[in-house]
Amino acid sequence: MEGILVIAFSLLGTIAGGLLCLIPSLHIYNVAGIAIILWIELSNKIPYYTIGPFFMALMVSFAFINTIPMTFFSAADESAGASILPTTDMLKSGKGRDASVISGLGTFFGAVILVLLTPFVFYLAPYIYLPVRAHLHWIIGLILVFYVMSEWPKGAGRGKTPWAKFKNSWHNCFAGLLTFVLSSIIGLIITTKPLAPPEKSFQNIMPIFLGFFAFPSIIQAMMSEAKYPENQYNSKYLNCKWSDFGYGALPGTIGGLITAFIPAVTVGISAIFAGHITNHRNLRQASFEKPKNPNTAVHVHIPEIYYQQERVFLVAGGINKIIYYVGAFLFLFAITDLTPNGMGRGGMNILLKPIFSPERGDFAVMLATVFFTSSLSLLLLIYFTDWTIKIMPKINVRLVYGIVTVVLLVLLYVMGGGWMALGVAAATTCVGLIPVFFSCRRSHCMAVLLVPIALNMAGYGDAIARLLGLM
């Protein structure tokens, strides 16, 4: 009976997650928030042991299906940094299906990696997790330092004087710094004195995230005049190779583990680091050939290798996503003598904490759930992708976004805590628009969590409160 119920609830989670994640800009944590309210209401009627599998299934299906709105509606959520560029490019060149399905296969491959990581999680990870835990504040700080300092000027530096050159190339750096500073201030304000009413506190970051990521994307999409490119569907062939998964495994896993273990670091940020560490592109560059005649001085590219890079990026993004979203939740169940409370982190962990605590031996069940729901989600993804491509040209994207905006606003009002939530969302939307229209990294907005978390971990929360005058 237990087994049947576990399977039934994972099935339910997958389908509910899959359908809801099709809505652009709706994040799984918002969906999970609604699910938790329902769960609290029904807690007497639903067996306790189905909580884990149900929410795990939600996470898994999100990690898969979220690819569709990200590819076809180019609705960037906070994890979009990892795969927004190639998917949009591929969509434009009619390869939207490839982009979506390859990313999904990458995610599935990530589920396999999660299974393979089991011994690592139990025997090695605690030895990393425990010493490093007390040092997270400076590790997050370092990530921020590198992140801010590594946004190189995008302009070409045209001008006759140093100042002119500086101004010409720094516009995106300025925008990035501004976004970073404003996001940090907002983060510090709302962590020092949370504005959400107590009964809505479990969704207190919802207005911020909708503001930083969802609404700016919607505004961008509404303003964009680009036509929806034709895409092929129902193809029997998929343009990818086995080796794509091999190349994607290292950056994807490293990125995923970084995201899964370090608080407030998102896929977009970790992908940059993992990409930096594991960048093996130069390995594949053919050297210049000496010209035989003036017209043959050519730098040779091998197209399939270069297209592979794009696919490897998608695969790595997919792996990163599942190791982060699903892995971070799964590691909560890695209960060892060193980590008696598991090693979980991530939004789902925080959301579930009040109603659920893992027990020794749950890991195997959860891993099985991950595997089962991954297979299911991959099938759903392929089906939904074809379906999306089929109906996309027929629907009015702006109308869809209009409806989504209304839904999100209602959700904000109801779940986020009334007018205050709308106000917070409005303020953060303005900040979230800066990177979109001044072309700098959107993940600068993550400073809203990273900066206060790092400072609070180091124990400077009260100093900040005094500085801000918010006692």
Partner 1 sequence: MSAIAATTFIPEVVRMSTTMKLDNPEAVSGSFIILLAGAFGVMPDTMDFKLGQFFSIAENEEDPDPRNPDPQKMADAFAKAVNEAGDTGKSTKIQLFTIQLGASLWRKYNMIFENDGVIIQIDNIVKTSQCPIPGTAPKTNRVGRAKFKYELKSRTNQICWLNKSVQWMRHLLKGPDHPPGPVKPSSVEIFMGTQFEFRKESDGKIYFNWLPWHRTWSHSYVLGFMLSIPVFIISYLMNLHHWWLYGLVANLGFIVHITEDMTGHIGGSLFWPLHKARSEGLELFKASDPRTNFSLDYSAIVIIIHNIDRFTTKLITMPWWLYYILFLILPLTVYFWVVAIIKKKIQEKEKRVLKEFEDEPDGFSDMTLD
Partner 2 sequence: MSNWYVYIDSETQGPFSDEKIKEMIQSGKITNEMNVMKEGTKEWLVAGAVPELQGKTAPSKKQSPSSSPSQSQPKEDFMKNVIDEEGLCPTCGYFTGSLLTCPRCGARVKNKIALSVVKKISIIGSFIGVIFLWLAAYYKQPTLIKVAEVDEQMNGAYVTIVGKVVSYNEDEGKDTLKMKIDDGSGQPIGVNAFKKLKQIKQLFGSDENMPAVGDLVQVTGVLNITDKFGVSMFLQIPERLQVTEKFQMKEIKIGDLKKENIDEIVKLKAHIISVSERTTKKGTKMYIINLGDETGRIGMTIFEAAFEKLPPETKELLTTVGTEFETAIRIGEYRGEFQATILDYTKIKKLGTVEISEAEAASASANSGSSGFSNGMSANVKSSDIGDLNESSVNNVYKVKAGIAKFAKRKTKKGKDMYSLKLTDKTGSINVTIFDGDYNSMSASVKKIIETEGNEIEVALKISEYNGRIQGGIADVNSIKKTGTFDLDKSEDGEEESPKYKKKQDASEDAPVKKIGELTLADKGKSVKIEGAEIKFVSSNDKGMNLTLGDDSGKIKIMIWENMIEKIPGLADVEKGASISGIFAVDAYNEKLQLKIKNPKSIKIE
Q: What residue ranges bind partner 2 (CB under 8 A)?
A: 36-37, 40, 92-93, 155-156, 158, 168, 171, 178, 182, 185-186, 189-190, 192-202, 204, 219, 223, 225-226, 341, 350, 353-357, 420, 423-424, 426-431, 433-434, 436-439, 456, 459, 461-462, 465-466, 468-471
Give which of partner 2, partner 1, none residue 162 binds (C-beta under 5 to 8 Å, depending on kind). partner 1
Q: Output 2 or 289, the one with its CB closest to partner 1.
A: 289
Q: Is 318 in a helix, a strand, or coil?
A: helix
- What span, in angstroms and rounded, lies between the C-alpha atoms of 209 and 68? 20
Does 132 engage in binding with partner 1 (CB under 8 A)? yes
Give which of partner 1, partner 2, none residue 235 binds (C-beta under 5 to 8 Å, depending on kind). none
- What span, in angstroms and rounded, lies between the C-alpha atoms of 228 and 147? 33
Q: Output 64 or 261, the one with its CB closest to partner 1.
A: 261
Which residue do the tokens 């907002």 mark?
Answer: 186
Render the burial of 125-155: b for 16+ CB within 10 Å, e for the rest. Answer: bbeebeeeeeebbebbbebbeebbeebebee
Backbone angles phi and psi of 277, in degrees to 5? -70, -40
What tokens appear for 99 in the block? 């982009």
- Span from 61-69, 288-296, 429-437, 445-453 in contact with partner 1 (CB under 8 A): 288-296
Helices (H), 22-50: 28-42
Give which of partner 1, partner 2, none residue 405 binds (C-beta under 5 to 8 Å, depending on kind). none
Report angle CA 220, 101, 117 to the nearest 5 degrees: 105
Enumerate residues 6+ apart whose C-beta is below 8 A from 260. 323, 324, 327, 328, 331, 345, 346
Give which of partner 2, partner 1, none residue 407 binds (C-beta under 5 to 8 Å, depending on kind). none
197, 222, 284, 359: residue in contact with partner 1 (rule CB under 8 A): 284
Q: Output 153 or 229, the one with its CB closest to partner 1.
A: 153
- What span, in angstroms and rounded, lies between the C-alpha atoms of 342 and 366? 13
Which residue do the tokens 């503001």 mark?
Answer: 211
What tokens appear for 17 in the block? 């997650």
Does 288 engage in binding with partner 1 (CB under 8 A)? yes
Q: Output 223 or 395, the one with its CB closest to partner 2.
A: 223
Q: Minimum distance between the CB of residue 445 and partner 2, rounded to whole angstroms?
A: 11
Q: Output 20 or 434, the one with its CB closest to partner 2.
A: 434
Q: Output 225 or 292, the one with its CB closest to partner 2.
A: 225
What tokens appear for 444 in the block? 């600068």
- From residue 308 to residue 337, what is the string marking binding to partner 1 with x (rule CB under 8 A)? -xx--x------------------------
Q: Minimum distance between the CB of residue 431 and partner 2, rounded to whole angstroms?
A: 5
Give which of partner 1, partner 2, none residue 390 binds (C-beta under 5 to 8 Å, depending on kind). none
Q: Output 379 or 465, the one with its CB closest to partner 1.
A: 465
Q: Minimum distance between the CB of residue 395 and partner 2, rounded to whole angstroms?
A: 22
Q: Is 235 in a helix, a strand, or coil?
A: coil
Q: Output 193 or 276, the one with its CB closest to partner 2.
A: 193
138, 233, 383, 419: residue in contact with partner 1 (rule CB under 8 A): 138
Render the burial of 435-445: b for 16+ CB within 10 Å, e for the rest. Answer: bbebebbbbbb
Give which of partner 1, partner 2, none residue 174 binds (C-beta under 5 to 8 Å, depending on kind). none
- What span, in angstroms and rounded, lies between the C-alpha atoms of 334 and 118? 9
- What span, in angstroms and rounded, lies between the C-alpha atoms of 78 and 71? 14
Residue 38: count of CB within 10 angstroms of its CB: 11
The DSSP annotation for 74-105 comes to ----TTGGGTHHHHHHHHHTT-HHHHHHHHHH
